[in-house]
Chain A
Amino acid sequence: MRTRSPRLEPAAFHSFNAIVMILLAIVTLYPFLNTLAISFNAGNDTIRGGIYLWPRVWTSQNYKAVFAGGAIYHAFWISVARTVIAVVLNLFLTSILAYAVSRKEYVFAKPITIIVVLTMYFNAGLIPSYFLIKDLHLLNHFLVYIIPGLISAFNMIVIRTYIQTLPEGLIESAKMDGAGDFRTFISIVLPLCQPVLATVALFVAVGQWNAWFDTFLYASSKQNLSTLQYELMKLLSSSMFSNSSASVANGADKGAVHNMVTPMSIRASITIVASLPILVVYPFLQKYFVQGLQIGGVKE
């Protein structure tokens, strides 16, 4: 490379760089926009091919099928429920633990931190974990979505590090006024932690909303515990190699829809429904999670 190019004009470099960036943005966005177009296009028309960024035969049948009250609609609410419940419990428990180990005077602060952090680097493995879940009678139970993941070591470190940056005087003076640690945590520390809690909430929510493996492993025999992602996975494996199969997707066979709704078109609409909530939220939290990642540093 040394032989040519003494120096490209800055303008040339900037245009080149901008083009690379725009190409990257297109590659990132195109599949998503394509899915959006397919989700609004009639299923029997999509099979003919040639749908790129805009639907050819507009329809909202694919979405009606999702929300028609069938299995997929039920799965949507299971996904919502597990996400909301897990985020609330997770935030509360993780931050309460983070507060305790952030107290310098606490005798067990260091041992507890080490014990929790070590869990980031090993796990007992699939089979022993499966037996634990089975012994706890959590198989085919809604709580299997909530209980196993209540504490995340990474999130605890992020919150603890944040608490340690708070002015010590605030906590000290609360204690002077006779508040115990729990009171101090609830009324002083927690309100100040909002930015870091927003980050952790996003991490937990994304993890819960996107989870499918626990359904597959622990609750696959119970249809009423199925989640949106799991329904999507079932459709994916049934239609991966034959986009053109015209059978009506399950939960969508409501007479009139006939060929309007195909596995491919309903998969597209579930994909949109499954990704939209997060895509709407994350740009607003960008500032926070970038910070959170830096606090966690290389600790992921």
Chain B
Amino acid sequence: MEEIPEGHMQLNHAETAPMLRASRFRRLRDQKQLMWMSLPILAYVFLFSYYPIWGWTMAFQNYSPAKSFGEQAWVGFDQFKFLFGDDTFLLVLRNTIAMSVINMVLGFVTAIAFAVLLNEVKTRWFKRTIQTISYLPHFLSWIIVTGIVATTLSVDGGIVNVLLMKLGFIQEPIMWLSKPHYFWGIVGASHVWKEIGWNAIIYLAAITSIDPSLYEAAEIDGANRYRKMLHVTLPGIRPIIIILLIMNLGWILDAGFEVQYLLGNGVVVDWSQTIDIFVLKYGLQIGNYSLATAAGIFKTVVSIVLLFSANMLAKRFGENRLI
């Protein structure tokens, strides 16, 4: 997100306009230290973030590590054609989109609901305590979280099965993690558990910046608590919700990697694999670098296109631009 403060450009022009061309060089010389402070780091960024894009050429070859660049066989878009005719890839694409939509919807709804409800808590220490507790899982790694999920859902003594059995909903423990149809839901629930408090931060901040006189006016009009939530709080945070929603569209092919990789197993593989896992498997385990790179490029290009469209959409909605 580019966000040079307004007025900055004008200021620069105002400064430079009267200067003579020769003084440009003096200015550059004066900024020698700034250059030493930034250009080496820029070179580093180029090496690690931009230079590897050269590797995208692999997707248009039948890449073989043993050959030099000149000797590689070029195949055009064959890898991409193969990809979209491949049942596994289409399955993986479906899983990725499904899980990311589920995560997004659940994530938004729960975080907004949590923020709105927490905002209604008037006892300060209670509010602070709840909020602090709610951040906790965000700081745990997915390794730890998936370990916790596995323990919680386990058939011998996992709390979910114990509770469901005590309440009489089920007769015997369910093997949650071995049921393909539960996998997407479990991933969604894990995300909610981990990030609900963290995601709510931004909404809570937006709620506190709502003009209090709006609430007073609503009260005078006889609005009760629910009406105020519905007609003041929610509209008050609508801009931020829209920006975040639009921006999240750019990550639609990013359903995550870790949680699916760690919780997935042979039984649920048709429902658990995402594009990232596909890339890892084909690329580094099977050694089909070209196909894996093609899949990676597909993901990146779709993300960038979506991001720029979202950016334009945001502009048309009159919201702040994202980039």
Binding site for B on A (CB under 8 A): 5, 7-8, 10, 13-14, 17-18, 20-21, 24-25, 27-32, 34-35, 47, 49-52, 93, 96-97, 99-101, 103-110, 112-117, 119, 121-132, 148, 150-151, 157, 161, 164, 180-182, 185, 206, 209-213, 217, 229, 232-233, 236-237, 240-241, 243-244, 267, 271, 274-275, 278-279, 282-283, 286, 290, 293-294, 297-299
Contacts and interface: CB of A to CB of B under 8 A. Distances in A.
A28 B193 contact: yes
Contacts of B2: 113-114, 117
A282 B131 CA distance: 12
B304 interface: yes
B202 A151 contact: no
Interface string B156-200: 110100000000000000000110000000000000010011000
B233 to A, nearest CB: 14
Nearest to A7: B224
A105 B118 contact: no
B34 A100 contact: yes
B143 A212 contact: yes
B304 A31 contact: no
Contacts of B143: 210, 212, 229, 232-233, 236, 274
A148 B135 contact: no
Interface in B250-309: 250, 257-258, 262, 265, 276, 279-280, 283-284, 289, 292-293, 296-297, 299-300, 303-304, 307
B4 A113 contact: yes
A126 to B, nearest CB: 5
28 contacts: A21-B121, A24-B134, A31-B152, A50-B157, A99-B37, A101-B38, A108-B38, A110-B4, A116-B45, A121-B304, A124-B53, A124-B56, A125-B296, A125-B299, A125-B300, A126-B283, A127-B283, A127-B296, A129-B52, A181-B34, A211-B141, A232-B143, A237-B262, A240-B265, A241-B177, A271-B144, A274-B141, A278-B139
B interface SS class: helix
B315 to A, nearest CB: 14
A21 B117 contact: yes
Given A18-B121, A21-B118, A116-B45, A185 B225 contact: no
Nearest to B24: A107
B28 interface: yes
B279 A126 contact: yes
A117 B52 CA distance: 17
A217 B284 contact: yes
A267 B265 CA distance: 19
A124 B55 contact: yes
A17 B31 CA distance: 57
B192 to A, nearest CB: 10
Contacts of B221: none
B67 interface: no
Given A17-B120, A282-B139, A283-B132, A10 B284 contact: no
B15 interface: yes
B219 to A, nearest CB: 12
B126 interface: yes
Contacts of A99: 37
Nearest to B57: A128
Contact of A232 (B35, B53, B144, B226): B144
Interface stretch (B69-77, B87-95, B96-104, B240-248): B240-248
B109 interface: no
B262 A236 contact: yes
Given A127-B284, A232-B143, 7 more contacts: A5-B226, A115-B42, A126-B283, A181-B31, A182-B37, A297-B1, A298-B1
